[in-house]
Amino acid sequence: MKKNTGVSTKCVHSGELKDNQYKGATSPLFPSTAYDFIDVDNDKYPRYFNTPNQLALSKKIADLENCESALLFSSGLAAIFSSMFSFIKSGDHVIFQSSIYGGTLNLVAKEFKKFNIEYTLIDSFDINNYEEAIKPNTKIIFIESPSNPLLKVIDLEAIGNISKKYNLISIIDNTFASPINQNPADFGIDIIIHSATKYLGGHSDILAGALASTKSNIEKIVKSSINYGGNLSEYTVWLLERSIKTLSLRVKKHNDNALAVSNFLLNHKKVKSVYYPGLESHPDHELSSRQMNGYGGMLSFELSNLDEAILFTRKIKLIKSAMSLGGVESTICSPTLTSHSKISKEERENLGIFDGLLRFSVGIEDPKDIINDLSQAFDEL
């Protein structure tokens, strides 16, 4: 695609495979796991990340993230694991923002020790704290922005600059923003990761992961990742390509709906606080406006206590109470009962996560119907 091609056009056309045989309009699916080895430079094999559908969709994701290259994985966590373990070895040190996805934290807490890899978790979003945590053996800074569940935002350019200054690899989990709302490579972040299970898939029916970076980083990651074995099945690759064609359309609707809903919540007397970077009252509103193209479909709001939060999730009708996020359907979950259930109430409250908090993945339904559903559930409290 030409450099100035619009993002919606990239979603539809970037990387698409031509059907030279029948001239169909969509990418053909090549599920073969066995390819001719005579007179070819590179042996094709799905686990090597080099089959036609994987290469085609990787091109689309690279284009959407303004990166040279990309890879697909069987889950977001496989992408996260493969990206980190392609660059670290025993004795190295990694810096993590503490408010990252629970599964990533679990990977770090449970597996790093086994490999003698050190790590530091940073509670704050203050860049100085990240720079101060750097040690001679530090290799990676890993961040997530906007964060779960309070939608705090970190300065991407500052993280990119520190990483360059100390020759570290910066990795961001860009799942919440999607490539439509945020392109971290533009701010100097090295590796951009997505749980494609969320917005990229968008219909709550695909488990997949992706990462985008420079050609040379991707070559290094491939070298290790063919040994880890976490690539995505061709059938799901094909389905994910189909899903991403509507990504820009969906995310714009998610953005609009989340802003409408957060304004409704802001004015509701039963809501103690609303966290959405699109609101001027959000502490990171200005920073978000600088580094994001849209504020996303994720928001959180706080009710009085856990009982009220549980009652609320029982009373919603159109909106589903469900874990995950990023689907076309609106879903609400309680961080206390899901993502943050394994840490103590005190630890949660230190992070600003009170028991009355509900995280809302705002879908693409008509906003008035979402708001009406919230309204009737509030009336039941």
Q: Which is nearer to ligand PLP, 264 or 331 (CB)?
A: 331
Q: Min. distance of Cβ 64 from ligand PLP in angstroms?
A: 17
Q: For residue 197, with 0-12 CB atoms within 10 Å meaning exposed, 13-18 middle and 19 or more buried, which class applies?
A: buried
The stretch among 132-140, 190-198, 327-335, 356-364 that binds ligand PLP (CB under 6 A) is: 190-198
DSSP codes, 98-157: SSS-HHHHHHHHHHTGGGT-EEEEE----HHHHHHT--TTEEEEEEESSPTTT-----HH
Q: What is the spatial distance between Cα 91 and Cα 137, in angstroms, rounded to a whole number?
A: 7
Name which of 153 and 271 has its Cβ closer to ligand PLP.
153
Touching ligand PLP, residues 77-116 (CB under 6 A)? 77, 101, 103
Distance (Å, rounded) from C-alpha 143 to C-alpha 357?
23
**Residue with Cβ nearer ligand PLP (73 or 130):** 73
Q: Decide: is 195 part of the binding site for ligand PLP (CB under 6 A).
A: yes
Reduced to 3 states (helix: H, G, I; strand: E, B; else coil), residue 73 is strand
Alpha carbons 361 and 376: distance in angstroms, whole number? 18
Q: Confirm or reject binding of residue 207 to ligand PLP (CB under 6 A).
A: yes
Query: Could you give the 3-state DSSP secondary structure of residue 221?
Result: helix
CB of 76 to ligand PLP, least distance (A): 2
Q: Which stretch binds ligand PLP (CB under 6 A): 18-26, 168-176, 298-306, 345-353?
A: 168-176
179 sits near ligand PLP (criterion: CB under 6 A): no
Structure-token pair, residue 231: 């690539």
125 binds ligand PLP (CB under 6 A): no
Tell me the C-alpha distance between 28 and 21, whole Å: 10
Give CA angle at 165 (162, 170), nearest 5°: 50
Residue selected from 53, 82, 86, 175 as contacting ligand PLP according to rule CB under 6 A: 175
Stretch near ligand PLP under the rule CB under 6 A, chosen from 58-66, 72-80, 106-114, 298-306: 72-80
- Taking the least distance from each CB to ligand PLP, the nearer of 264 and 275 is 275
Binding-site size for ligand PLP (CB under 6 A) equals 15
Choosing from 184, 209, 230, 296, the residue that interacts with ligand PLP (CB under 6 A) is: 209
Q: Does 122 bind ligand PLP (CB under 6 A)?
A: no
Q: Which residue has the tokens 């698409």?
A: 16
The least CB distance from residue 160 to ligand PLP, in Å, is 20
Closest separation in Å from C-beta 21 to ligand PLP: 34
Q: Does 145 bind ligand PLP (CB under 6 A)?
A: no
The span from the CA of 179 to the CA of 60, in Å, is 11
Q: How far is the CB of 268 from ligand PLP (least distance, A)?
A: 26
25: which 2 tokens? 């309009």
76 lies in the binding site for ligand PLP (CB under 6 A): yes
What is the rounded CA–CA span in Å between residue 378 and residue 263? 15
Please tell me the number of Cα atoms within 13 Å of 14 on its side-chain side: 31
- CB closest to ligand PLP, residue no: 76
Interface residue with ligand PLP among 63, 65, 173, 302 (CB under 6 A) is 173
For residue 138, what is the enclosing H or E element?
A: strand 138-144
Q: What is the maximum alpha-carbon separation in the chain?
A: 71
Alpha-carbon gap, residue 323 to 116, rounded angstroms: 33
Residue whose CB is less far from ligand PLP, 284 or 377: 284
- Residues lying near ligand PLP in the complex (CB under 6 A) are found at 75-77, 101, 103, 144, 148, 173, 175-176, 195, 197-198, 207, 209
